[in-house]
Each structure stands twice: as structure tokens, then as C-alpha cells.
A and B are shown apart, each in its own frame.
Chain A
Amino acid sequence: MADRLSVTISSDVMMMSEPLEGIAHAISNLESSQQFVELVTRALQEKVSSVEIVEKGLRKGLHELGQKYEAGEFFLSELLYGASLVDQAMTILRPNLKTEKIETKGRIVLGTVRGDIHDIGKNIFKMMAEANGFDVQDLGVDVAPERFSESVGEMSPDILGLSSLLTTTLSEIGTTVAALEKSGAKRSVKVLLGGNAVTESFRKEVGADAAAVDAVQGVDYCVRWTKK
């Protein structure tokens, strides 16, 4: 985090003896990008594996970030900045992760339903889910019900995420869930709803498995469903 906004003394983080702890702390306390990159680089120099950095540093930090968001201490600005730090770390770690095997938590296929071309919420969820260790396949926006059904056969996801910002396209969620039922695809996936227009009563009405009020809650559902 930039100096003027720091909520912690940056040197505290740099001094932390446990590099993974420092990385997690830096994410959830919004340290500056430069300091964060130094922490990740230092961990690699100290022979901490990339997998460990991801699983015990980045994911822990993200979890704490999400908790602060849910508690109302952080808002979208903080959530997105924290996620951008993780993204930066992943750019550094990705080459190593090709050889070090990292286990994904599960696969999510998601998209915005037909008639709606908005994707900010969907993209935030995608970023948070990937950062939390999910393999996310994004079908994009304005996705037809049949495409969602086909994707279940093609990609075997654990979770299917349907997003709708607009109240006017809510009915498309119902149509999509009905198409999943009809094709039998719904038996093999959990259906997660997201987007501004979605409510708990609507979820019950259409028979989806959960409706998330925000990206953090959405990821929480996914973690719960895929816990081994």
C-alpha cells in the first residue's frame, strides 16, 4: 500500500521472520506493490516453493482480505487492490508452477446470461476464485442456456456460475436452470447465482443451489462445496 494510506508499518512486514506470514499479511493489509513483490522475491530466494507461497501465503492473505470485506472494514477498492497483488505474485510464480504441481480446488464455469452484456461483477468473482485456487472457465457475456448446458458436458465443472446484473434478464437465469434440468446437466454441478439482480427468494424460485451477494460470498460457497 502506498505510504500515505498505510494502515501498518511496512517495515514490520519486511521484518517478519516467516516469509509466508509476511506475504499473507501484506495482502490483507494492502501493502505497496513494490514491497509486496520484494516479499515474494525474498521468499523464493529463501527456497520457499511457489506452491507453498500460493497455498500458504497468497490464499491465506486473500482469505483475510475477504474476511475484512465481509466485516465491512474493506470495500471494493480494497478487495480489488488486494486481488491485484495476488495477480502480480502469480505472474512471478507462474513459470515455476508449470513444474511444481499445484492442486486446484475445483473447476468453475461461469458466464453472464443471455440478454445481459455486463461483466464487472463476474470478472471480480473470476479474479477472486482463481486467486483462491479454482480453475475458472469463463464463457463470457450474453451466454445462451444451451451453451451453459453444453459446457457442463465439455468441461465437467464442479460449479456453474450464472450472473445477471439486470432485473430484466433474471428470467434468463430461470430459463438456463430449466435447460440444465432438462439436459440432466444440473445433476452433476452446483449452480451458483450472482449479480446485482439476484436475491435469495429468486434462487429458491428457480431451484439454484446458492445466490451470492458478492464475490467473496460466492467464493466461500465454492470452497465449501469442493472441500475434500
Chain B
Amino acid sequence: MNESEMTPRERTRNAMDFKKMDSIPWVESLDEELVMNFFSSGVPIQEITAIQWGVFLDGFLLFNWPKVLGFDPYEYLGCINLTGCIVPVDIGPIPRFKQRRIGSGPRYEEYVTETGALSRRFSKGTKVIWYSMPQFYDFPVKDRASWEQYKTRLNPEEPRRYPKDWEKDGYIQVFEEYQNGPTSLGITGFYGFGAELMGITNFVTCFYKDPDLIDDMVSHWERFTIEALREAVETLKDRIDMVYWWEDMAERHGPNISPKLYQEFLLPHYKTVTSFLNKNKIKRIMIDSDGNIQPILDLIIESGINGTWPLEVNAGMDARKVRKLYGKKLFLGGNFDKREIGKGGEAMRNEIDSKLPLMKETGGYLAGLDHDVPVTFTLERFREYADYLRSQLAI
């Protein structure tokens, strides 16, 4: 492959494989509020590149008037989205909980989420930023009985988990055409799944209060994950560039469950899933977890995971240290301290200069902030960061 003609997808794959590339890929995660702020601070209207004239659902036309769509903030800003093009498998509860508003006041709105949790967020009119990050205050699984009830929605054989027109060649063609980043398969991890259904406090204490329930939950999740994904994995095999395993299992002090619990309850299940993926030639498996996961990195690697993002600096994660300790066992993503980058100027350049040279030298790195770009970033500040970073990425 000619390095100078790499597509973003090829560049990202090579980065994850510690292979040669023309430049380090730049990946970010952009929130809708940030994009709206960028719009209101000067993204030209000409950047709105597509207008959709109708909305179809299951072949039915729902409306037919021009709807402005299609601004691609990633293309406009010059970075790529970490997850790229996503393999269409629905791993949520089916039937879904109807996402609906159950209450509203002058300051808050309350919702039932698709997973059956109750959440509260600021009303849009309150002018409070980050209303899109809700507070979850009640969860669908509380004990054995509610778990048994919930489990009926997690049937891996449920036909609605795949598109009605699912067939190999059509999807491979779409994926082949998509070269703006990796093709990824999203999985919810064993911790993430449990914490989402029970809430963090109840889930992490349940390992002690009712270990048999935890065993049953994670065992079911293992079978569910493999069987729900089997068709996609065995059909697409290594056309899937990356597995994106969402966990969010740590805070600043360390992981929310101890290494001991991880080893006893989760590790065997991770291994079964990664073994299934590996047998199908899917080798790039990345965990997404905020917080300080350093104390469980050995176990994460033993699980068969070989990449991690976003390496949150505020939680003490340092890509240089992780690289020194684990070498090519882990490809790394993120780790530019969003607080330093947000200051702009010298602070921003120092942050990049302190990490990027080692990452360029050792490979296996996807450059970017240590989580979503904060909504407080102005377009001007982001452009300053983008200009400097792009000038440093070439190898």
C-alpha cells in the first residue's frame, strides 16, 4: 500500500496494528451541543451539504418537504469519528422501553429511557449547558425477580436485532464504500451492561450482596453478546475493523470494581467473547472507559482487549506511561488533556508536544482529546488546536 494514498480507514487500521502510515490519525468525539455552538459562532451555511426531501420508515413516506441535513462536522474540522461506520446489530432490549417524557417543569424534564431507566435533564429553555448528559435516578433491575423479567427482552435470537434486508454482500459494499474511518462493531461490556441496568451503586455492591445474581447476569450477557453478534461477526469477519467495547468502569481513584472482582466475575466472560471474535479474524478490540483503569490494565489485556480510549488525564492516565509498561500490547487513543488544550496557545502546544512525539515514534496511537470535546470549546479555539495538531501529525 502506498502510504501517501492512505484513506482515513487504512490509516486508522494501520495505527491500531502498529504498522507504517503516512500520518497519525486524528479522532474526536463531538457532542451535538458543541456542533450547534460551532454553527452559531461562524460555520458557514454553505457547509450544510445535504437536504433530505422525505423521511421513510419501513418503506412508508412519513413527510415530504425539504429537511436540512448533512453537515458533517468531522469532515469540516478535519478529524474522524472514532467509531466510524457501525455494523447494524441492535443489542438493546427488545421490545424497547418506549422512550418518553414523563414529567416536565420549568427547569427539568424527566424521561423513561430506552433501557427502562428513569432520567432527569435540564429543559432546553433553561440555557444550562450540557443538558444532554442526564442524571439517572431509577433503574429497571433491582433484584433477581426484576432481572428475570428484564432478561426476556435480551433474547439474542430476536429477529429484529438485524435490519430486515440484512444480507452480506449489500452491507460489505456499503462498508467498502465507506473509507472515512474504521468499520466498527459496538458491544456493551459486562460492567457497562450491569451498571446501566442496576445503577452503579447497586451493581457494584451486588457483587458482595448477591454474587449469584451477578453470575447469572454476566453469564447471560456473554451468551447474548456472542449469539446476537454471531451473524454479523461470522459474515463480515475481518471486514470489521474494530470492536468498540463500551464500559465506562472507572473514576479518578480507580476502577469501580476491584481487580479481584473483575478477575473472578468478568474475566472468564471477556475471554470467551474475545476468543469468539479472534476465531473470526477480528483482532482489534478496544475498550472505552473513562477514569483510572491503570489497576486493571493487566486484566484487560488478559481479557483479549488490545486497545484503550480515552485515557483521561484528570484521572491520572498517561499514554506515555501505559506505552512504557505495555508496549505493543495496547494501541492507545486520546490522552490530550482537554483542559490544557482548551487553554489554547502555549499550553495547548505543550500538551501536544509532550505526548505526540513518543506516540509517533512507537506507533499504535490515535491522536485526540481525552474524551468528548467539551461544549465550552469555541470554534476559534478548536480551529487553533486543529491547525497545530494537523501540522504535527505527519510521519
A residues near B (Cβ < 8 Å) are 1-2, 4-5, 30, 32-33, 69, 72, 74-78, 80-81, 84, 115, 117-121, 123-124, 141-142, 166-169, 196-197, 199, 213-214
Segment among B91-99, B129-137, B154-162, B324-332 that sits at the interface with chain A: B129-137
Q: CB of B258 within 8 A of chain A?
A: yes
The CA of A197 and the CA of B313, in the complex, are separated in Å by 11
Q: CB of B173 within 8 A of chain A?
A: no
B376 near A168 with CB under 8 A, answer yes
B residues near A (Cβ < 8 Å) are 107-108, 120-122, 128-130, 133-135, 200-201, 204-205, 207-209, 211, 251-261, 264, 295, 314-315, 338-339, 374-376
B374 near A76 with CB under 8 A, answer no
B135 near A76 with CB under 8 A, answer no
The CA of A169 and the CA of B339, in the complex, are separated in Å by 13
Enumerate chain B residues within 8 angstroms of A214, measured Cβ to Cβ.
Answer: 251-253
* A33, A77, A117, A118: the one within 8 Å of B256 (CB): A77
B205 near A118 with CB under 8 A, answer no
- Min distance, Cβ B271 to any Cβ of chain A, angstroms: 19
Enumerate chain A residues within 8 angstroms of B259, measured Cβ to Cβ.
Answer: 75
Enumerate chain B residues within 8 angstroms of A169, measured Cβ to Cβ.
Answer: 130
* B122, B201, B254, B339: the one within 8 Å of A117 (CB): B122
A119 near B205 with CB under 8 A, answer no
What are 9 sample pairs from A and B whose C-beta atoms fall under 8 A apart?
A5-B208, A77-B257, A117-B121, A123-B201, A167-B374, A167-B376, A168-B374, A196-B314, A214-B252
Enumerate chain B residues within 8 angstroms of A2, measured Cβ to Cβ.
Answer: 208-209, 211
Enumerate chain B residues within 8 angstroms of A5, measured Cβ to Cβ.
Answer: 207-208, 211, 260-261, 264
Known: A117-B135, A196-B251, A197-B314. A72 touches B208 (CB 8 A): no
- Min distance, Cβ B393 to any Cβ of chain A, angstroms: 26
Enumerate chain B residues within 8 angstroms of A118, measured Cβ to Cβ.
Answer: 133, 135
Q: List 7 additional contacts besides A2-B211, A167-B339, A167-B376; criterion CB under 8 Å.
A: A69-B253, A72-B254, A76-B200, A76-B204, A81-B207, A118-B133, A120-B200
